[in-house]
Amino acid sequence: MQVRLSACLCVIALCFASCSDESSGQNGSLEFVLEAESTVREGIAAGDAPDELQDGWNVSWQNYVLTVGHVEIVSATEPSLSFAAEDRFVVDLTKVPAAGKSLWRFDDVRAGRWNVFYEVGEPEDAALRDTSVNEVDFDRIVAEDLTYLIRGTLSSSEGQSCPPTSKAEPGDKVANGNVNARGDACYDRSALTIEVAVDAGALYGPCEVDEIAGAVVPSGGLQSASLTIHGDHMFFNGFPEGQEGGTTRRAQWFADADLNLDGTVEQTELEALSVSDMAAFDEGYQFGAAPEGALANLWTYLAAQLSTQGHFQGEGECPIDGVEHDH
Amino acid sequence: MKVSLTWLAFLLWTSVGCADTGGGQVAFDLQAEGATANEFEVGAWTLRLSEARLVFGPLWLCAAQGEQASCETARAEFLDAAVVDLLDPQTQALGTMTGSEGFVGTYWFDYGVVSLLGQDEPLVLPAAAQTGGSVFIAGVAQSADAQVAFEATVTLSQSANGVENGVPVVRRASEEIRHVLDANTRSLLLRFDAAQIVQGIDFDALAGQDVVSITEPPTPETAQAVSALRVALQGAAVPAFDWKEEE
């Protein structure tokens, strides 16, 4: 461990890490850009396409703030050789350009293939505020040790919330006459506010694309690789092992979690609901690959889904917390 | 701390992906125990179970490890399914696991109904056909002012309209499954807890009915109970694993 820690200390903890691999004369550079999937930048539309929300809801994001960093590369041919860029950035992914934002760089490292690891997680004391994040949100992220601070809107002209009858607190709200498959009364809801502030940290890696690991540093050149954050996993109908193309995206469960029907889903409401409370979680949902503890309530479920959103080079996969994760 | 986490992850990755390539053949017993009394509390209700049978298998143990692990290569497997009496605390023989030496860190299993790639309908193994599904539980729930007799049968498989076909229902890792299979591996004991399986049922919602049949497709009245059973079997009620070595 000490040997490894010593190697990792070869980091310049500023905006860019620069590590020297003096054991080879054939060195190059590797930069990492933070990339937001289109589901973050553009939201998700209602529709029948596999990557659309198939139950009539649209989602748009006002903020999708994430704490991300501690990028580490490990030589594929000499695993004892590694470098780390410790910097953690708090970034609003809705404001990241489509081409991504360069945040980490390794210079003068040995040419060849490197395995890639990175983290999303708590900001700790050393997080850096990206200009895309205002100071109020940054201070909240740091104070509350948040991984994600997400604000968005679910909308549908025909939308409705159908909270479980046994836990609904409709007050003087008037039902619209519809009921769901369990007989829960429904209430018109054309727009619903999403605000999620959650610790959903994860360690990703070794990352790969099409089963090819990591990134290649060219001799005497610069290679770029992207750490891609997806924005639709909270709407998945399970925790897929295969390609996400087999996954259905639906938002009704979230709309039904608005127990007091005030148009905003609160953490306390999600914590008060179990997965089995929700009629929207029908037989089309499968939870057998949910991380341990993820099904305790809807809040843990949401956090677990968010913790799977780290990818590599677009749709490339990164095992989560050091383990295989192939979807 | 974070460096250590990465280091640990890399150590595990290299140990599984590179260094540990497996070796000779292994075979060991797969066993099960019912791990609970037949009477316990569920909220304000006291449940007394008269029957509780679960169909377990096939089971694959994989070289990868950790949450949401994939299973590119099964290290050991039990390709049949067997009925576990959840109310019997004695050790029950389910069959034999076969495979090769090496590290396992992930388990994948079904409850007697197997999804097959390219086929809409899953394969129902004989044990599940005999049981009528993946699990059958019967008993009486008693509260201060009500009593509900119930029979519950649910079937778990990857459905055609679900996330994906061709993979088992439960795919997970845990500390307790991590093990190095070798010639000394004698058995893998699964401990089931029927109380965990029914813990999420809202018996208040079933009150007022003398006898309730919790089956699929559910009625609006039994939908929560069916969902609670399905969620439990994919989450809190998966068995505990206990390895036994040759003395």
Q: What is the pLDDT of residues B141-155, one digit of tens each?
A: 999 999 999 999 999
Q: Do you know the residue count of chain B?
A: 247
Take residue B121 and report the two structure tokens written for it: 């309908």
Q: What's the confidence (pLDDT) of residue A12?
A: 32
pLDDT above 70: residue B67: no
Model confidence band, residue B30 (pLDDT cutoffs 50, 70, 90): very high
Alpha-carbon span A254 to A130, nearest angstrom: 30
Average of pLDDT values for B205-213? 89
Instruction: Determine the pLDDT at residue B134.
Output: 97
Q: Do B236 and A322 touch (CB under 8 A)?
A: no
The predicted structure's pLDDT at residue A2: 33
CB contact under 8 A, B67 and A275: no
Task: Please state, in angstroms and rounded to a whole number, the distance separating the CA atoms of residues A185 and A179.
Answer: 5
**Of A101, A24, A107, A45, nearest in space to A235 by CA:** A45
Q: Which range, A120-134, B129-143, B167-181, has the best average confidence (pLDDT)?
A: B129-143
Any idea which of A4-18, A131-145, B181-195, B198-212 has the lowest mean pLDDT?
A4-18
pLDDT above 90 (res B53): yes
The token duo for B204 is 């208040």
**CA dist list (Å): B216 to B49, B121, B170, B221, B227:** 20, 16, 20, 12, 10
Q: Do A275 and B227 touch (CB under 8 A)?
A: yes
- Residue in A275, A321, A322 nearest the CB of B231: A275
What's the pLDDT tens digit per position in B94-107?
A: 999 999 999 998 89
Q: How far apart are the first and last CA of chain B?
A: 38
Q: Token digits for B148?
A: 């509900």
Of B159, B223, B235, the CB nearest to A290: B235
Q: Which helix (H) or strand (E) holds B196?
A: helix B194-198
Question: A276, B224 in Cβ contact below 8 A?
Answer: yes
Residue A135: count other Cβ atoms within 10 Å of its Cβ. 8
Residue A238 touches partner B, C-beta closer than 8 Å = yes
Contact B69 A74 (CB under 8 A): no
Distance CA B203, CA B147 (A): 9
d(CA B247, nearest CA chain A) in Å: 32
Q: Residue B246's pLDDT band (boundaries 50, 70, 90)?
A: confident
Residue pair B63/B51 in contact (Cβ under 8 Å)? The answer is no
B163/A236 Cβ within 8 A: yes
Contact B6 A203 (CB under 8 A): yes
Cross-chain residue pair B67–A321, CB shorter than 8 Å: yes
* Number of other residues whose CB lies within 10 A of the CB of residue A153: 16
* pLDDT at residue number A11: 35
Q: Which residues are CB-contacts of A136 (< 8 A; sequence separation ≥ 6)?
A: none
Check CB contact of A7 with chain B, cutoff 8 Å.
no
Q: Are A297 and A281 in contact (CB under 8 A)?
A: no
Predicted pLDDT at A120: 95
Q: Would an 8 Å CB–CB cutoff place A248 in contact with chain B? A: yes
User: Chain B residues with CB inside 8 Å of A7's CB?
Assistant: none
Q: What kind and span of H or E run contains B14?
A: helix B2-14
Q: What is the mean pLDDT of residues B66-90?
A: 86
Q: Report CA-CA distances (Å) from A33 to A71, A103, A221, A236, B16.
A: 11, 6, 17, 26, 29
Contact A286 B64 (CB under 8 A): no
Does B126 contact chain A (CB < 8 Å)?
no
With an 8 Å Cβ cutoff, is B219 touching chain A?
no
From chain B, pick out residues whose CB is under 8 angstroms from the CB of A8: 3, 7
Residues in chain A, overall count: 327
pTM of the model: 0.87
- Integer CA distances (angstroms), B149 to A77, B184, B203, in order: 63, 47, 10
Mean pLDDT of chain B: 87
Q: Tell me what pLDDT residue A260 has.
A: 98
A221's CB contacts (< 8 A; 6+ apart) are A28, A29
**Contact (CB<8Å) A286/B9:** no
Structure letter (DSSP) for residue B65: B
pLDDT at residue A1, rounded to an integer: 31
Residue A3 to residue A97: CA distance in whole angstroms: 38
pLDDT at B160: 54
List chain A residues with pLDDT less than 70: 1-25, 241-246, 322-327
Contacts of A182 in chain B (CB under 8 A): 220, 223-224
Q: Tokens for A71?
A: 């990028």
Q: What is the CA radius of gyration of chain A?
A: 21
| Residue in B5, B14, B164 nearest the CB of A79 | B14
